[in-house]
């Protein structure tokens, strides 16, 4: 009888161990073939699994990704949400008068249409202040996520407008997740963020002014090597490496920028 009981206990323990070792769906998506090796290489600095878990993103949610750029996070969010959730990607307007906006949007659309297996259910919306702000149906989103964009809105005096649009898109109880290049607490905040760095207090104030409540911040994407005092601002660092070969090894050794990771909630 003791031998039978021992065998049952061992079998149960092994089952639990195997269950614990099984990669999560999010982990499998992050490791998926739809992501380039170049993008996967940057996981070391961007920590996509830890970041999305911190923002409590589930595969059955409605999520808005703000200004997705070339789609670094879209490569993860789209297949993750495809079966049970919904992804809106709020990109530039095709009517923008800026060549960069038009090219970036065209490249993104080509990416989506070229791999319908992963991106066929993504809904492309427009965020181009002041005219295009309908990033998702009002009150429809469980999560609104933005990665390294706040400095761009400050540069163009659009921050308040964008934060209001994100607030409007979220459901009551929905979460806004922000990752942004973090300014030194010892430096005053340039209201146009010319260096690309923004202070945590400034981001928190922008969110609160739009009606959000601060929830929590994380050091997931921190980088203590980042001194934040470069001639070309944050763009001296990888991946931009704007100074080309000048001090390249120094900037590569620092790595990508020190980043805040903060979440806010739309009150019930």
Question: What is the spatial distance between Cα 145 and Cα 5, in angstroms, rounded to a whole number?
Answer: 50
What CATH number is attached to the domain comprising 218?
3.40.50.150
Domain assignment present for 102: yes
Domain assignment present for 65: yes
Domain assignment present for 125: yes
Domain assignment present for 22: no
Domain assignment present for 21: no
Q: What is the pLDDT of residues 238-266, one digit of tens each?
A: 999 999 999 999 999 999 999 999 999 99
Q: What is the pLDDT of residues 212-223, one digit of tens each?
A: 999 999 999 999
Domain assignment present for 222: yes
Of the candidates 178, 171, 177, 176, the residue with the CA atom closest to the CA atom of residue 268:
171
The whole domain housing 56 covers 32-265
The CA angle 209-212-216, to the nearest 5 degrees, is: 120
Q: What is the pLDDT of residues 197-209, one digit of tens each?
A: 999 999 999 999 9
The count of domains in the chain is 1
Domain assignment present for 10: no
| pLDDT of 7 higher than 60 | no
pLDDT-derived band of residue 11, with 50, 70 and 90 as boundaries? low
Domain assignment present for 165: yes
| pLDDT of 10 higher than 90 | no
């Amino acid at each position: 009888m003791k031998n039978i009981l021992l065998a049952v206990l061992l079998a149960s323990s092994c089952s639990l161990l195997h269950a614990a070792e099984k990669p999560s769906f999010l982990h499998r998506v992050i490791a998926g073939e739809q992501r380039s090796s170049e993008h996967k290489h940057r996981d070391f600095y961007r920590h996509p699994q830890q970041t999305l878990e911190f923002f409590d993103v589930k595969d059955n949610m409605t999520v808005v990704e703000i200004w997705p750029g070339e789609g670094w996070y879209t490569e993860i969010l789209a297949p993750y949400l495809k079966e049970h959730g919904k992804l809106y990607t709020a990109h530039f307007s095709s009517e923008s008068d800026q060549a960069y906006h038009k090219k970036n949007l065209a490249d993104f659309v080509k990416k989506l249409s070229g791999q319908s297996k992963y991106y066929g259910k993504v809904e492309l919306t427009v965020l181009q202040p002041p005219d295009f702000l309908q990033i998702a149906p009002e009150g429809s989103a469980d999560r609104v996520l933005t990665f390294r964009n706040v400095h761009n809105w400050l540069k163009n005096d659009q921050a308040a407008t964008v934060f209001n649009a994100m607030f409007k898109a979220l459901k009551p109880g929905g979460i806004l997740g922000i990752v942004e290049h973090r300014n030194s607490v010892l430096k005053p905040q340039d209201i146009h963020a010319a260096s690309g760095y923004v202070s945590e207090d400034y981001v928190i104030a922008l969110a609160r002014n739009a009606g959000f409540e601060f929830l929590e911040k994380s050091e997931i994407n921190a980088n203590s090597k980042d001194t934040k005092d470069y001639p070309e601002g944050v763009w001296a660092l990888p991946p931009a490496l704007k100074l080309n070969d000048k001090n390249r090894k120094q900037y590569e050794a620092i790595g990508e920028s020190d980043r805040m990771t903060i979440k806010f909630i739309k009150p019930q």
